[in-house]
A and B are shown apart, each in its own frame.
Chain A
Amino acid sequence: MDPLIMIGAVTVAGVLIGGGVHFIPVGGAPAAIATATGVGTGTAMLAAGGGMTGLITAAAMTGSPLWLILAAGAAGSALMLAVTMLVGNWVYVWGVGCVPVSAKVDTDPLTKLPQDKYVTPGTEGHGIPTVCFVSGVIGGLLGGIGGGLAYWAIYESLVTLPAYIPLIAGKASLAAAMLAGIFALGLFFINAVIASYNIGGTIEGFHDPKFKRLPRGVLACLIASLVTGLIGVLLLMGGVF
């Protein structure tokens, strides 16, 4: 594959990952004690869960057409985040005993259910209400597509090189898959953390006022991913040993 296409794919992938993180309801430490809406952990943990699952499902499709790899990555990441949010909600509802409710909007933009009446005074909502759940799944889909795209671009570039020739069953190269996987994972973490710096740690989803910072986060991820892609070209150039 042409190195320029690889750089372009990695840049687009980084933008998709960084943009996707803005959709995910990251609640951080306040959500861990049910005093804020969202999943009670930081972006890095959600990126680890969603990103790795997406990369594993994308890598399982190695050798398939591009759209299948992207779909597999998107399904894996979105599914992992959906399960995380669902099980988190079980803990909030039946463990903590609070209603999933958002404090950022008066009525849920999707279900039109009233929110403000159910927010415990002194808190910023609890659990993962419908709008946050849908937003999180969209974020997982975007992130998974990004991860799959980066994996596909690097794998397809590496697998043509003589150094990565030993193929499993004449189809896939383990070394190329691992190298592409770890590179895509690194890209995932870099962009997830930059996006999380942009949102200041916590966000509820696309209905959150902080979501307006998306263009700045996308620009930041674009620059960082472009440089990452440029460095990644060395993998292809040096792969001829």
Chain B
Amino acid sequence: MSVAAGGGGGEPAVDPKKLLALGLIGGLLGIYATPINPILGPLLAALGAVCAIVWGADAIARVASYGLGTGVPSIGYMSLAIGIIGVLAGLAGGIWIGPAYVLLAPLIGLILAVVLGGVVALVGKRVVGMKIPILVSCTMELAGASALSVLGFSAAIAGSYAMPAILVSVVSTGFIGLLFIMNTMAIQHPFNACLGPQENRVRTLKLAASTAFFAMTIVGILGIGYTTAWWVIAVIGAIAWFISIRAFLQASAEESASVAWTGWWPEEEEH
């Protein structure tokens, strides 16, 4: 099975460095802004996760354009697995170093995820013999984006990025499993749905924004009982989802050759 993906390293419509900066800086700023205010903080954390998801969707589009042979979702699941392992180990590791270093915990989680992503991609390239030139860099980016998206949504639910709070409200409740699959979908679905010879990266990213905001809406609902900001996150996520999915549908209609209504099937079966 090979993915019939278009391009293959062509000139991208959107500068990957800009998206990297958006995801990395936006994601980290959002997560570190969590404690500033009980309403605004979790909202910013959720928005940081949205930035990370858009970055991840672009990274997956770049690496999957080469045709992984296993489908687009597989690398999405793998990077979310790497991201979650990195984040949980990083948050716990921040506590181990000392109480003064809890501030470093999200950064350690991000670095651990990126390192593990790099190791897995190197194994894929050197041992398994994958022939994708940008595999290592893109997997590292994907792992980082996954880690920040999980961390951002976890911080939005828990109202804090410290391990004890996340352990109680995200891990023990099982929301972490939901975040695993939901963020995988949000990151891998846009390119999986839009790939092909006429793939337009701007359109793909519009879909990425809509999946990310949809995930944010669900995260807001999950936060009922854990954060007072849950309704703000859910409402703003829903409004932003509506705007972004509308933009995506309009872009799809504009770029299609024509949009025609085929009518219903005939009343009686023709023999």
Q: Do A and B come from one complex?
A: yes
Given contacts A42-B71, A228-B85, whether A182 and B176 have CB atoms under 8 Å apart is: yes
B78 in contact (CB, < 8 A): yes
| Cβ–Cβ contact A186 & B85, under 8 A | yes
A89 in contact (CB, < 8 A): no
A239 in contact (CB, < 8 A): yes
> Quick one: which of B84, B91, B123 contacts A194, CB cutoff 8 A?
B123
Return the CB mask of B175-216 against A: 1 if under 8 Å, else 0. Answer: 011001100000000000000000000000000000000000
- Chain A, residue nearest B76 (CB): A44
Question: Which of B78, B84, B94, B177 has the most C-beta atoms of chain A within 10 angstroms of its own C-beta?
Answer: B78
B70 in contact (CB, < 8 A): yes
Given contacts A42-B73, A190-B120, whether A197 and B128 have CB atoms under 8 Å apart is: yes
Which B residues are in CB contact (< 8 Å) with A216? Answer: 127-129
- In chain B, positions 243-257 with a C-beta closer than 8 Å to chain A are none
- Chain B, residue nearest A30 (CB): B1
- In chain A, positions 22-65 with a C-beta closer than 8 Å to chain B are 27-30, 42-45, 47-48
Q: Please choose the segment from A90-98, A103-111, A131-139, A172-180 that sits at the chain B interface, where 4 or more of its residues have CB less than 8 A away.
A: A172-180
| Cβ–Cβ contact A29 & B120, under 8 A | no
Which B residues are in CB contact (< 8 Å) with A167? Answer: none
Given contacts A182-B177, A189-B78, A228-B85, whether A223 and B167 have CB atoms under 8 Å apart is: no
| Cβ–Cβ contact A178 & B70, under 8 A | no
| Cβ–Cβ contact B71 & A28, under 8 A | yes
Given contacts A201-B2, A216-B127, A235-B88, whether A44 and B93 have CB atoms under 8 Å apart is: no
A1 in contact (CB, < 8 A): no
Given contacts A227-B116, A231-B86, whether A189 and B81 have CB atoms under 8 Å apart is: yes
Which A residues are in CB contact (< 8 Å) with B96? Answer: 234, 237-238, 240
- Chain B, residue nearest A174 (CB): B172
**Number of chain B residues close to chain A: CB under 8 A:** 48
* Main DSSP-derived SS at the A contact region: helix
Which B residues are in CB contact (< 8 Å) with A28? Answer: 1, 70-71
| Cβ–Cβ contact B82 & A197, under 8 A | no
Question: Which of B76, B90, B96, B168 has the most C-beta atoms of chain A within 10 angstroms of its own C-beta?
Answer: B96
| Cβ–Cβ contact A201 & B168, under 8 A | no
| Cβ–Cβ contact B116 & A178, under 8 A | no
| Cβ–Cβ contact B70 & A197, under 8 A | yes
| Cβ–Cβ contact B119 & A187, under 8 A | no
B171 in contact (CB, < 8 A): yes
Smallest CB–CB gap between A169 and chain B, Å? 16
**Residues of A that sit less than 8 Å from B by CB:** 27-30, 42-45, 47-48, 163, 174-175, 178-179, 181-183, 185-190, 193-194, 196-198, 200-202, 216-217, 219-220, 223-224, 227-228, 231-232, 234-241
**Given known contacts A44-B74, A185-B81, what 13 new A-B pairs fall within 8 Å (CB)?**
A42-B1, A42-B73, A43-B70, A163-B164, A182-B171, A183-B85, A185-B177, A186-B81, A186-B82, A223-B127, A231-B86, A234-B92, A235-B89
- Top-8 shortest CB links A-B: A238-B92, A28-B1, A186-B81, A234-B93, A189-B81, A193-B78, A238-B96, A234-B89
